[in-house]
Amino acid sequence: MNRPFALAATLLLATLLAACTPTPGTPSATVTAVVTKTATATATPSATRTSSVTPSATATSTAAPGSPSAPTNLKLTGRIPDLSTPIPPGEAESGRLTLAWEGGTGATGFRIYLKECDGTVKPALDVPGADHQYGPIHVCRPTGSIGVSAFNTAGESNITWVR
């Protein structure tokens, strides 16, 4: 190795270490980062056609006494509303759906449920009692589903599933 180069490299390394090493008695600061997860959804109008499907709906579970009636007449609207139809590659926006329903007498709110492709069921979100639709929402295809229940202070109705 070239002796002048080795000497220059050693001096550079020593200078960097000295600059990065705190001096005793020098104030220091600790930086703490807080990470939050935020999701934003926006709806954009589309110039393409929108179709709708009124699938057969099924209710599950047992409602608590005094809970509202289960929603009925579930209807999906969107470019590809049939949940058994896979979304073509590159057309994820075609899978956005709006779910509408009737009923839920006595409800203070509605809870939308998603059934994932692996069969896992989870509550997705709550909707105010005055609303009878929600969208856009993506549902796992072709084996997933979407359902809705009505709730009030007494309890929750049966979940009515799109399929």
Find all residues with CB under 8 Å of 135, minimum gap 6, and list them: 43, 77, 78, 96, 97, 98, 99
Domain residue limits, the chain:
51-161
Dihedral sign computed on CA atoms, order 126, 130, 135, 140: positive
Structure tokens at 3: 């002796």
Angle 150-151-156 from CA coordinates, rounded to 5°:
90
Give mean pLDDT, residues 60-84: 87
Residue 27 has pLDDT above 70, yes or no: no
Cα–Cα distances in angstroms (integers) from residue 69 to residues 1, 21, 76, 83, 145, in the given order: 85, 69, 20, 25, 21
Q: Mean pLDDT throughout 73-97?
A: 92
Q: What is the pLDDT of residues 91-134, one digit of tens each?
A: 989 999 999 999 999 999 999 999 999 999 999 999 999 999 99
Residue 6 has pLDDT above 80, yes or no: no
Report pLDDT digits (tens) over 31-70. 333 333 333 343 444 434 444 444 444 444 567 788 999 9
d(CA 23, CA 49): 69
Q: Tell me the average pLDDT across 87-94.
A: 90
CB 151 within 8 A of CB 160: no
Distance CA 81, CA 99 (A): 10
155 contacts 76 by C-beta, under 8 angstroms: no
Which fold does the domain 51-161 belong to in CATH? Immunoglobulin-like (2.60.40)
Cα diameter, the chain: 90
- The predicted structure's pLDDT at residue 66: 86
Tell me the one-letter amino acid at 132. Answer: H
Amino acid found at 4: P
pTM (2 d.p.): 0.62
